[in-house]
A and B are shown apart, each in its own frame.
Chain A
Amino acid sequence: MSPVPLGQDYPRLEITVVAFPAQFSALFVRPAGLVESEWPATQITYLGEYLLQLGCQTVVVESHYVDRDYISDVAAFYSRSLRAYQNYCYRLHFFKEAFDQKRWGDLVVGESHSRPANLTFLQTTYLGFCVVRPLAGSPIGRTVVPTLGSQSASGHRRQFATLRDYVVHLAGFELRVQGLGFQQQDQGVSACATTALWSAIHGIAHREGLSIPTPADITQAASRYFLPGGRALPSEGLTVHQMCEAIRASELAPLVVPSISVSSDKAQLLSYLSSGFAPVLALQPLQGGSGHAVCAVGIKLGSMEPQSDPNLHFRDASTALLGIYIHDDRLGPYASADVYSYTQTVDKIRTALRITWPGQDVEAEHAVLLSMVVPVPTKLRLSVTRMRELGLAIAESAGQIYSQFNRAVTLTTRYRKGTEYRELAASFGLSGDGLYKVTCGLVLSRYVGVIEITVPDGPLFDVLLDATETNANPAALACVRRHLLPKGGESALAAIALKLGAVLIA
């Protein structure tokens, strides 16, 4: 009889460098027993396509990586399975320069004086990472890759205000990548709503200095008081109600906005996304089936439309929103989704998304937008709807008062941190007194609502709102002159400020 082995060996780490393969799926061993699922999984193919667009040339593979999210999934769920799931993952790092194992070795063990140059080389070519979980059907774990640049092939502008920096440690080097975390649902601990919410919280919780929940934390918090699906694990998906519960458990506040019209939805999306708040979108795929959730992370902008109502004298910046970029866990990060009007029935026009593959015009899906759930800091109480209520009236007034701009006066609403606004004020061309007043004489809430009134060449003025209030009307803190306000137009701005009960800063 063989003796009974006791104890466990420590794992070993191997770092392997491979050229980015023509088929990204070639990096993965096809798991046995996947009868009902396609191979390679769509998420693997999508990520390969996305990395190709980024110009990836080299993949560095870490054979042992303890991922905070996955190990939490193991603790909550997989540790009690019959199969002995390992508690660690592989991690793939992507680089846009070609190098091989030998060069890698030289970079790591080179002379100490060459280390700064080696770090610079790795940092400048770094394209992020992907944690690969030991789950046959859902291998793509926490993944952070950069966005595709500020201009699309069709000439549209891309903007991503929701991104953050991630610090990555690899072989003694500290690398950074800017992006927003993405991961695939595993159906054990998380469903699409869980991972969409996880992505949304990843940005804002980090910025607010809050701890970031794992998918297992989110599912458990969502199911604490309300379990319409019968059990929390394996995850049967989340309702909007449950998502709100999970957001509150993360010390954030959920703002739920039902979809009401394309123009209004575009305004909401533009305002929240340009302020750095990533909304979770509840979708109904047009081909039917259950509801789906994705996380909106960026915006695609084209030209602004002229005002279509002859009685109005301003334009709405949200008419420039052509689409959004989403983390869709059935595809991958930053999937392009055009926003359009969909005639559902003769009397019902809905907002719809046309989701496509990266860099191609290949459609993945059409879906109707049902609602948005935006995790925001708890003291941000002023909603975009309330901010726009005042903003629309101010923009219409400005369009009439400054008629020389020929109805090109434009309304934008967003949130900014008060500290950030003060910092920006130095570039507004204010008088010394005005700048001193903004920076030293004005008490601002942590987040301020900003009604920006602009013309095509630049800004006219801002109205700053106290975002801790619930209504915009009695919450105006200041009207701030910007550099394109016409000479002689200041007295009208002073009158607006007086009416709003705000301070004039010029």
Chain B
Amino acid sequence: MSDKQNSVACKSIVAPSVHAQPEPESGEQARVWAVLEQARQNVKPIVNKEKEAEVLPDEVLNLRLKTDK
């Protein structure tokens, strides 16, 4: 086996998860997946805004909460 063939073979067994992403098997599957991808793009502005909540500014962490009575 040449070096090139060897590297292709290695790539195919290094996968991030157990199942590889399948190819669509029908027209409907392809259509639904296209809708899903389009939907992901449509909601991206909301998602990006909401992800700002994952950044914790120091002033949030260090604010002293102390109100009398």
Q: Which residues of A pack against B, CB within 8 Å?
A: 37, 41-42, 137, 187, 191-193, 228-229, 235-241, 243-244, 256-258, 260-261, 264, 267-268, 282, 285, 289-293, 311-312, 330, 370-371, 383, 385, 388-389, 392-394, 396-397, 400-401, 474, 491-492, 495-496, 498-499, 501
Contact = CB atoms under 8 A, between A and B. Distances in A.
Interface of B: 17, 19, 21-22, 24, 28-29, 32-33, 35-36, 38-40, 42-43, 46-47, 49-57, 60-69
A394 B43 CA distance: 10
Contact of B32 (A37, A192, A238, A495): A495
B66 A258 contact: no
B60 A240 contact: yes
A401 B32 contact: yes
A41 B22 CA distance: 66
B43 A240 contact: no
A385 B36 contact: no
A261 B53 CA distance: 9
Nearest to A197: B65
Nearest to A396: B39
Contact of A261 (B17, B49, B60, B65): B49
A291 B61 CA distance: 12
A41 B68 CA distance: 12
B56 A256 contact: yes
A235 B63 CA distance: 15
Contacts of A261: 49
A371 B65 CA distance: 11
5 contacts: A237-B64, A256-B60, A292-B67, A330-B67, A400-B35
B31 to A, nearest CB: 8
Query: Which of B21, B33, B38, B65 lies at the interface centre, i.e. has the most chain A CB atoms within 10 A of its CB?
Result: B65
Nearest to B59: A370
Query: Helix, strand, loop or mixed for chain B's interface?
Result: helix
A260 B47 CA distance: 12
A229 B32 contact: no
Given A258-B56, A264-B49, A268-B53, A393 B40 contact: yes
B61 A499 contact: no
A289 B39 contact: no
Nearest to B56: A256
Contacts of A293: 65, 67
B62 A239 contact: yes
A385 B42 contact: no
A495 B50 contact: no
A67 to B, nearest CB: 21
Contact of A290 (B21, B39, B49, B66): B66
Given A42-B69, A396-B43, A496-B36, 4 more contacts: A37-B69, A191-B66, A192-B66, A193-B65
Contacts of A41: 69
Given A264-B49, A392-B46, A258 B57 contact: yes
Contact of B64 (A238, A257, A499): A238
Nearest to A500: B36
A312 B66 contact: no
Given A400-B35, A474-B17, A495-B29, A385 B63 contact: no
A491 B50 CA distance: 31
A286 B49 CA distance: 25
Contacts of B57: 258
Contacts of A236: 64, 66
Contact of B50 (A42, A267, A290, A330): A267
B49 A239 contact: no
A191 to B, nearest CB: 5
Contacts of A394: 36, 39
A461 to B, nearest CB: 13
Contacts of A292: 65-67
Given A256-B60, A258-B56, A492-B28, A192 B65 contact: yes
Given A371-B60, A492-B32, A291 B50 contact: no
Q: Give the most central of A244, A383, A400: most B CB within 10 Å.
A: A400
A289 B67 contact: yes
B42 A396 contact: yes
B62 A491 contact: no
